Structures are given as structure tokens and as C-alpha cells.
Structure 1
Amino acid sequence: MQGEHVLDGIAVGVITVNSKGIVCTVNKPAAALLSLEGEKFVGLKIDDIIPEARMGNILNAGERQQSIQWLIGDETIIITSKPLVQEEAPAGAVITLQKLSELKDLLLDFQTMQALKTEIENLNTLNNQLMTAFDYCFDEVYVTDGQGYTVFVSKACEKFYGVNARDMLGKHVNQLEKDGIFSHSVSREVLQKKHQVSLIQGTNKGRKLLVTANPVFSESGDIELIVTISRDITETSNLKDKLVETEELSKMYLSEIERLKTGQSQSQELVVVSEPMKQIMDTVKRIAKVDSTIFIEGESGVGKGVVASRIHQQSKRAEKAFISVNCGAIPENLIESELFGYESGAFTGAQKGGKKGLFEAANGGSIFLDEIGELPLSLQVKLLHVIQEKKLRRIGGNKDIIVDVRIIAATNRNIQQLVQQGKFREDLFYRLNVIPLSIPPLRHRRGDIIPLIEQFLKKFNDIYRLKKQVSEPALEALSAYNWPGNVRELENLIERLVVTSDTNRIDTCHLPDHLTNSANKNQKGVMVLNICPLKRATEEMESQLIQKAHERYKNTYRIAEALQINQSTVVRKMHKYFGDKEEADNK
């Protein structure tokens, strides 16, 4: 370097040390005076080379200058030490060595001394400029010596680690790693592998850094320095995570759209044959005309979404949007923004211009909140406010937005038990439960099973262009099964049977073992759900038995054969329980 050539050209010996007293440079006259090669001094402590130098007085005690005499052989050497100051603190020192016999000539060589002073000043200026440039750099510059001790770090470390740059100087990377300043030291990796290393590093401030460290080798092949450049990629990493969440949400929405399409198709083909479903549909017709909040309860798969869609279609809001939301399918950290929307800049990654929530999208129409029991308690308060005040406020917003929405909620959980456990707000439950609607499971409305089988059979025959039929024994087994998964389980099984059966006739041999075994168990008994007078129970069972047989056979002679009674008895019983309507149906 130019500075080193200038120092070598000076007649006096010059040694420079850093703030720790480590030798940085030795010019040729100094090496000659000490009768050693200058390169061997670099990196050693000056006190080990010249104990009489007492550098602690300069570097620590703050002395401005000191001069001593040192005897080397027959020669008396004048050693003068002067501190180098940076930001009002000692940054190192310059040591000059002169033979006493040459002092007179040296003192007369004013130009040489002036050149030395000027060069040192220039070096200090260049050093200050480099330090300033590094401090204004977005990336952190971190340098260690060949043993892993910190010799320089730029001010970016204060943002990355929350510590002052001075507090890191002189510390070993292992100690900094042990103190939790950063995790997985890249300098340590370079010392072991002796080549460039890049990795992702975590800091005690929760930052993520992309760190690249390069070794600087001496002529002998040893590592002299390790220069590390660290770039903060925290925001980039957060944006990547947000992108993954958005992609997952997009997939969920696509799935929800397909489910809605299926739900609309199902609602048009809703099977209403059994008495319980007829009663529910009668209720649906009445409540669809008003805007009261509806709370639908029922096991998973009973068709709560289909009933909610039917309510909307029969209401005065039918021409407006019907938004279906599965509260259990949206991640908890996203559900508030999805339901209520957000303003521009509300959070990192927020869409410019903000975004409408699903309540705003349903304005004028209906919103179906499925699995309402999964809604976090923090959002239950906000939903209660929307129900009571008919207005909402977006995340990051400062104004209320009026919304006109019919709310239909549903759950397959015991919501009153959740209220007792403190997992669901009691006041919200009362607000939602204005009109309760309970959908019975399929096992309690067996009159719908065969019509549903026929509907699904036609659907999948049309889709796969097949002509499958279900045998009478298979129908009986399917009717006797309890269907814990309700209509959804029935639909999935029919599709499976249509696709996998090897003949056009689906028989009991094609049914799953658990279904036929369950059917055989159920064939021997009658389900008793409650206690009532025996006469009333007998009449109720007789009435349902006659109705079920009529739904299947449509003919009094076939009904009599199936029930093993006279045809005249069938006619009399039908007249008793159903009046003239059933007689007219048989004519």
C-alpha cells in the first residue's frame, strides 16, 4: 500500500499499534533497529516486543506523549509514543525509534518529519472517511482477526443486535455467540472451513440476516482477517411468510367456491320426504320472510349449509349475495381481516387501498357463519357489535361502515356447554339464537335415506355415464345403517359404490363390512328415544311403520306382504293415521 511505502522511506523507525496495543505496521528502519523481520511483529502485543514502551500510559491513562531511552547493544534508542485519537478516544498509537547518535541529523531533517506528520494525518483522514462510509452503509461490516477476535464492526450492528459497536471490539466470536448477540457464528465456520461461507443468522433482536464471510489470507496461507457482510432480510422473510399464507387462503377460497357451487346444486335438489324434514321446511318458509338471526344446530354432514342456502333463496334477499364462511377453516391470525376487512397500511403486506371484508361483500344479502363455535373470543365481541349496531370498523380504520346483512350461524358443537366453559360469549349466543333451528341426524329421519340414495345414484350415474342400480337387500341394509356421518357420508358412499362396483347391480356384497354388520345389529330392535305411555308409543311406531312402508312400496298389497298383515288392515290403518289423503294416493 502507498502508506506502507511512505513509512519505509522515512529514516526513523515507525511502529503503529491499534487500541489494544497490537502491532499493525512496522517500517523497515524499525525492523532493522530491532534486528528482526517486520512481518513477524505484526499481530503481536507491543509490550511483548518493547516492555519499556509502557503503552498502557498512552492507550489507557490518556498521556499525550512520552519518550524513553532504550539500550540495544551499544546503541541508545530514543522511543517516542504518541496516541492516535478517534471520536475523542484512543484508537491506537504511533511509536518512533531513533538512534541517539543520529538525533541531531534527524532533528535537522525537518522535511522528513513534516512528511511523516502529513502522511499520518492523511492516513487518519482516510481512516475516518472509511469509518464514516461503513457507518452509513445499510449492510453491516464486521471484521475479525485470524483468531476470531473482533477488530472492527460498523454501526449497523446497533440496529441488528442492540449493542454499541465499541462493546463488541476485542471480543471473540464464540463469546458473542454465547452471549446471544447472534446465533451460529459465520466467522467460526470460516476459521474451520477456510473458505467463503454464507448462511442465515438470527439475532437477539429477532432480526434475520443473510451473512457472507470471506477469509483474507497471508502470503504463508494463514487467515489474517475475516471480513463479513450482513444484510437484514427480516422484512423479506416476513413477506415470504405472508405470501405463503395468502396462497393457502387462496386455496381455501377456491375450495369454498367449489363447496358453494355444490351447496347451491344440493339446495335445488333438497330431499324432503320424512316428517321431521317436512316440519323443518315449513319453518324455513316462515322464517325466510323475516330478517331475524337464525341459529342452526346439527351434527356434521346433516345439511346445515343446504338449509341456510334454502333460507336465503326463499327470502327477499335472494337476488343479493349469499356468503358462506367456515370459521374453523380460516387461520386465527387472518379471520378478523377476512370478516371485517382492513384499511391500506393496516399491517405489513396489507393490500394498497385496503380490502372489503366478507360482511361488506354480503351487504344487502345473507352471510352464513358455519362452525361459529370456532370463532376466537376476541372476535366474538366484534361480531356482537355488528349484530347489535349493524355497522363495523375495518382493521386500521377510524370510521364505522353500515352493513345490512342477514346472519345465519351454525354449529355441530354443544354451544351451551361452550358458554359454561367460558369459550363462547353468553350475550353473543342469545343474539344469535333468536330463531333456533335443529336439523335431525339422518338416523332420526330414515324416510329420507332411500330418496337420497336415488338422488345420489342418478347424480353419479350422470357424471360417470353409468347405469348402476341398488338391489332391494342393499337398500334395506343402507336404510338400517345409523349414518354417523349423515348425508355427507351417504353421498360419499354412493359415489364409491357407483365407481367401484364391478356390475350394474349394487348388492350387499359391495357394501363395506362395517355397514352390513351394523345393519344386521339394527334389524332386530326398535330405537326408543324417550319415555311415553305404551299405547301412544305403539300407535306412533305403527304410524311410522305404515308410512315407511308406503314410501317404499306405494301399494297396499305390497305393504301388506312386507308387514305380514292383511291388505284390508293396511287400508284401515292408513285411514286411521293419515285420513283420505293416503287413500287418494293409492287410487
Structure 2
Amino acid sequence: MSKGKTEEAKETVTGVDIGVALLDQSGAVRYANDTIRHWLGPTDSWMKAGLELLISKSRISDILNSGEAVHWRTTLSGLDLHVSAHPDRRAPSGPGIVLVAYDMTPLKKMQERLAEAKAAGDELDAIIQNSYDAIYIADTNGITLKTNDAIERLTGIPKEYYIGKDLRYLEKRGIVEKSVTFEVIRQKNPVTVIQENALGRVLLITGSPVFNEQGEVIRVVTNLRDISELNRLREELLQLRKFHAGDEPVVIASKAMERVIELANRVADTDTTVLLLGESGVGKEVVARMIHRNSKRYEKGAFIKVNCGAIPQELLESELFGYDSGAFTGAKKNGKPGMFELAHEGTLFLDEVGELPLHLQVKLLRVLQDQEFHRVGGVKPVKVNVRIVAATNRDLKKMVAEGSFREDLYYRLYVVPIEIPPLRKRREDILPLIRFFLDKFNRKYQTAKHFTEDTLNLLKEYSWPGNIRELSNLVERLLVTTPSHEIRPEHLPPLTGGNLPGRENSISEKERRKGPAEPDFGVLEKIGESDGLQAALEQLEQRILAAAFERYDSSYEVAKALKISQSTAIRKAYKYGIRGKKREGRKTYSQP
């Protein structure tokens, strides 16, 4: 290497954090930059001896003989060095070696920081993505940078559609109402508004500014929360009443049940006989327990329940009235008290009293009149002080006319009749009961599942032939079998026990899944007369929308073709469960 070039190399590499040295063929150091000197220490210890710590003399000889560069890794004073040695045969002073070494430690630290930053970024993305609320991030120009999957649940539009879109464009299309982003930028403070979107959801929207070091807004982070459910809960809470019957409360919101509870509480503190009437599963036992709990007998005696329809008739008498020793083969030596004796000073609840055979009706009548009876096989009368609450889902008056129920017993039981209406006649109670059982079974199974608004609307419309018992069983079943935290309409089992009012005449789920069809104007002839104009119009609207979404690539084009707003097209598609064309392996509403 010429002197001029050597000086130029010195100026270039001096002070650079890369070690550079020039060695002759014996390994003596012709030149070493400051980095090499810093790594190796005082020159007296190594300048004459050469750079043995970095390259051995045998390797120098091999490189000069082969004429090829060699690369290797080594450590020096805790440094992780990458070393390259190149032969130099053109130097005036004879063949030599150009040695270049750089420390990998800063690069490794930088890589670690990058990995940590990536992990933090991935974690932040995961947090944003898994947020139940929608999160929307835009820059100062109103361009959407990031959002999460929750935005589709709230608006019906996939998150991919929003990325890169100008909020002014979204406002113009009716996808977004007046955006809070620009107001946040203007005020440089958080802004909160409440808006109702095209799907009828009431959203609490809060935008917050993100500042740089100069105090300028560089991002706006917006949180969107669906408060429709909270509003409904608030309204229900204002109407909701809870009364206790044993360990479990009686949940009511309807005026009809309020009257039932009021009457039950009014007669609770008396000893009058009560007859509870109503369909199976309406909660007759719950009301009976509430009557006992609110009576003077609650502290004195027990609440004893007898299901007259569940005990074989040949055993029913001994169960009710007990038996004495030797009453029949297999009887206990000391006899056995019956339910009347166990209920002494308390309340005896005779469920399904209409199932009592005639010969026991006579015996029951005597207890009601005289408060005494004979055990099976007994000769001594047994005196008791028992309050009778009976219940039936049968028409006792009709049974009296048919001769299967004694008229005198009927009037003895029919002192204070309380009829409990079925759920289909008190629909105000359905949602509070669903939420009560949802909370109960969430705690039981240690889950945190919830029903979507659409699911609750379907359940509210159902006729519930099994009443509260059916409702409770269905809620428990759905909590156990639904894999996701959100219980949606598709998770509901076929509700064959009753119809969904308002849905009997709509297109079936099976038909809906067949896919969109061309508009069928003949539907008016098929259903118009029997089901009414509204049902015909809804079916016609659904089929026209389905055909339009199949034909066009976007909700914008659908809206344009049908001469409606884009938000209306999306809302109605969501209402009827119409899905757009497949994109990127998933079904979504097609968007422009």
C-alpha cells in the first residue's frame, strides 16, 4: 500500500468504532487505529509482539499462501468480535495483512432491544385486539391507522375496511357519524359523545389525544363502548322487584306478578288455606315457600313439600299420614310419622293436589276441617296444627263436574286462590329472569358468559311453554355448551316446544342458509292473505336485499342500486342475517 493511500486509510478509520490494523508478513504491526489500541491497551505490550490476541502468525502465513480472506469470531476482554483478515501483496514494504474487526456486542444489544420492542408491540396489539370495546386509532389528518375486531360487532363492518380510510370519507358514506377525532385535535383534550349507529346500537365514544415532545397531537385513540345493554339494564332495574322465598329470590318486573306477590304477602301471616293455580313451571313452589317464609310459622315449624303426582297411589296415604307398627308387611317396628306430622306448626305444600285419589281426598278434607287424622293401621287420632298451601295445574272445577274431585274439598281448598300467569302473559319478567339465572349459573360454573342483544330479543319473543323451569334449564344448558363467552342466536337449540311470535311467518333459518335468491314477487300471493301485509313486505325486502348483496361487490353499490343509504343497507343486512361475498377466506359484508 502506498504512503498516500496509507495516510488516507488512517484518516478514514481513525476514531471509527471498528478495529483496523495493517500487519507485515511476520505479524509486526504497521498501523493500528484507536479502536484497536483501546481494545489492547498500552502499545508497549503488543506493538512489537504483534496482534497475537486477534490473529496468530500461523494464520497470517496461511492467508498469505492461499491469497484468500478469512473470517472468524473471537472474544477479547469481554468483547464479541467478528474479525476479517485480507491478504495485501501490493504494499511497497512487502506482503502483509489488512485486519478488520468489529464488536458484535452493540449489535446484539440492539437486536435484543428490537426483539423486546417487537414483543411489547405484539403484546399491545393483542391487548387492543382482545378488548371487548372497539378501539380506533387515527393520525392528525384523520386517517385510520389501527382498529380491532370489536368494531365489526358494533358496526357490522370488518376492521380491514377502516384501515387507511379518511374519517371524513367514512362520515360522508354514513359509516361513521360525526367523528370525535377532529374535535379532540381541535381541543387537545379528551372528548366524549353518545351516538346511535346504523345498527341501532347506542355507543359511548371517548377520544383521547396522544402528544409528542413538542406538545403537538400526533394520534387520537378512540374507545367505543356499546351501552345499549346498560341502558336496558338500568330501565329494568328501575322496574325490578325482588322478594325472598327461602334461599332464592323471586324476581319480578311485571304488574301481573306484582299483584300475585302482593296477595301472597297479604295472606301469608294468616292460617287460611291457599290454592296456587297455574301452568307447570310458573313458580308455584317458589310462591308457596315465600308464603311460609313471611308467616308466623316460619320460626316454629318446617316447610314440607309433597308432590301428590310423583308418589305411587298405594304409598301416598302412608307418606301423608304415616303408619303404626304392624300396619302392613315391611312396616317399621315403631311405625313412621307422615308429612302432616312433620309439618306440625309449619306449612304443608301439597303440589299437584289434583292427582289425589278420591279416598285420600276424604281424609284430607277431615284434616282441613278437624286438624286430626288416623295413621295407617292406627286407632288413635293424631292432632296437628298445619297450614295447607296447595297447588295444581289442572282445572279442579272441571274435575268436580266430571266427578274426579270432591266438591266439598274443592271449596275447602279454594279459600284464597292465587293464579300465577305463564311467562308468555308477563313478558316483562323474561329478561330479568334470564339475567338472574345467567348470574346464578355463571357463579356456579365460574364463567363470565353473556347473551347478545339479538339472542335476548329472540328469547323474549319465545312463548316458553315450560315457563320459568324451561327458561332456567335453557340458560344453564347454554352456559355449559356454548364455547365462546358470547351466546349468539346460532347457539340457541331448536325451540320446538313453542313458536317465536313475530318469527313464525318469516323465512326459515334453513331457507336463509340456502343463500340469496332472485326477488320473488309471487311471495305476496303465497303469504299475503294468511299472514298479513307486514310479513309479506319483510320477506320481500329480505329476498331483494339478499339478491342485491349477491350481485354487487359492496354495500355501497347495493345502496346505490336500491336507492337507500349505505348505513340502511348494512343495518337491514344485519337484521336479516344476510352475508356478503367471500373475501380472504372469511364471510363478511362486502364493502367498497
TM-score normalised to structure 1 length: 0.43
Q: Which has the higher contact order (CA 8 A, sep 6+)?
A: 2
